[in-house]
Amino acid sequence: MLLVSEPVLGVPEKAALSKVIDSGWLTMGERVRAFEEAFAAMHGADDCVAVNSCTAALHLILHGLGIGPGDEVLVPSLTFVATVNAVLYVGATPVFVDIESEDVPLMSVKDAEARCTPRTRAVILVHFAGYLAHKEEWQAFASVRGLYIVEDAAHAPGLKEVGTFGAGAAFSFYGNKNMTTAEGGAVISRDPELLETIRQARGHGMTTGTRQRLNSRTPQYDVTMLGFNYRMDEMRAAIGLVQLRNLQEWNDVRRILVALYRRLIATRCPDISMPFSEPRTSAYHIMPILLPRYVNRQDVIDEMRAQGIQTTIHYSPVHQMTLYRERCPGVHLPRTEDFACRELTIPLHPQITSPVVEAVVDALASALTKSARAGAAA
**CA quadruple 48, 93, 82, 254: dihedral, nearest 10:** -70
**Nearest by Cα to 80 from 314, 244, 279:** 314
CA distances to 34, 49, 124, 265 from 192, rounded to whole Å, are: 18, 11, 20, 46
Burial of 102 (0-12, 13-18, 19+ CB in 10 A): middle
Distance CA 157, CA 174 (A): 12
* 103 neighbors 123 (Cβ within 8 angstroms): no
**Nearest by Cα to 356 from 252, 249, 264, 251:** 264
Three-state secondary structure call for residue 154: coil
Identified catalytic residue from 19, 110, 177, 370: 177
**CA quadruple 264, 269, 272, 273: dihedral, nearest 10:** 30
Distance CA 358, CA 293 (A): 24
CA torsion sign for 244, 245, 249, 253 is negative
Distance CA 157, CA 271 (A): 31
The DSSP string of 30-57 is HHHHHHHHHHHHHTT-S-EEEES-HHHH
Other CB atoms within 10 A of residue 64 CB: 25
110 is catalytic: no
Catalytic machinery residues: 177
